[in-house]
Structure 1
């Protein structure tokens, strides 16, 4: 069932070009392309001063653009990867693979328990099915060191030149090994928590990690909650 979920949700969307995309994001100056009406007067005058016969495309307007993204997915594999926990992991990997299908987007995956392992780096290309199989081959672990997973993800994102660097942690936030993860969360520019609520979980800790990491907490009880949560995260 997990593999079927991964196949269904990872259907590739049409490739976007590597340039910034119009939509949500920072308000940036761009050349007029017959839509947009917020004229950047100062920059437009600078262009027109050098063009005695200006064209419509010499006008500079301000539009919201979303830049290329680097995402580090941090997956809690402590305890038992069975039942709905596996299906949630499958949906998370698949949705991110589909959303980050642009040639300039990057995705890394980190698994953590009392230790942490990088399953794929930002520069590697792999399939959701391969990532899922790798996750499922990791033996069940008892202790949960949330801080280890966060520190590994932070190091990965620090090596990226992408304008938007996002960490997304999939966990129940039941932390029982290592230092307080709140201290590490403060280092992130954008850290979101997908909190698994289908079993034992620590809502206050998950909320604190997201808040200190300048992100948001998104409770997920079943795999059907994953896609809406990730859509909200990536459309910020």
Structure 2
């Protein structure tokens, strides 16, 4: 079921420049990639003089570009990884992998311990990544601080201009130091709060606020992709 949900959500977007992404950055003239309709006429005419039968991508458009981004998904695998919790995890991994298809994505799993399942620079198919995650035996305690520590160390080694962490958890922290102190050190930390069972809204709210990010509740797997869109839209 988890793999089925992941396949439904893992839809690659049309190709884009792997060195940059659309956003609030420098205005640049780039080949048309089915996004901007602001045509750079001078540069397009230069191209068309050499190609009397042009393709769509021979059109040059103006887009605002920013540098490649790096993101770490931090997944809570403590407690019981079954039922809707597994489906939410599958939907989150798939939707984030699709959103960051041309960027860098790392994956951290945590319980009373933590594990870095994928480094930022590693190339791993989303289906394989999900399989690795779901094969981790669920543990009872939840050490949010440990998961954040591993994710922060991975992000700190990235040279990307935009560095983001997304924490998927019920925020029921019951092992290790208070994670609030570490949340302050992130350039951007968003929280996807699982609300289908026991959850801690005050802690999740504090982590997002201290981490310069936003909080989005997810009750079912259908909430994951829209919630990610809201978190990453800014």
TM-score (normalizing by structure 2):
0.84
1:15–1:101 CA contact under 8 A, matched in 2: no
In the alignment, which residue of structure 2 is the partner of 1:25?
A: 24
Of 133, 138, 141, the residue aligned with 1:140 is: 138
In the alignment, which residue of structure 1 is the partner of 2:38?
A: 35
- The 5-angstrom pairing of residues 43-122 of structure 1 reads 64-102=64-102, 105-122=103-120
2:193 is the counterpart of 1:187:
no
In the alignment, which residue of structure 2 is the partner of 1:131?
A: 129
Q: Which moved more, 1:158-167 or 1:124-133?
A: 124-133
CA deviation after TM superposition for structure 1 residue 114, in Å? 0.7
1:13-71: CA deviation from partner (whole Å, max 9, x where unpaired): 2221124333x434x354699939xxxxxxxxxxxxxxxxxx966xxxx9743431101
1:115-145: CA deviation from partner (whole Å, max 9, x where unpaired): 1001111111112221121112111201111
Secondary structure of 1:101's aligned partner:
coil
1:86-113: CA deviation from partner (whole Å, max 9, x where unpaired): 00000011011111111xx100000000
User: Considering only aligned residues, what root-mean-square deviation do their CA atoms show, in Å?
Assistant: 2.2
1:193–1:216 CA contact under 8 A, matched in 2: yes
Structure 1's 64 and 2: CA in aligned 2 closer, same or farther, altered over 3 A? same
2:29–2:63 CA contact under 8 A, matched in 1: no
In the alignment, which residue of structure 2 is the partner of 1:16?
A: 16
Separation in 2, partners of 1:219, 1:182: 19
Separation in 2, partners of 1:56, 1:15: 24
TM-score (normalizing by structure 1):
0.83
Of 158, 161, 172, the residue aligned with 1:174 is: 172
1:113–1:145 CA contact under 8 A, matched in 2: yes
1:32–1:56 CA contact under 8 A, matched in 2: no
Separation in 2, partners of 1:29, 1:15: 19
Separation in 1, partners of 2:210, 2:78: 23
Give the aligned length: 211
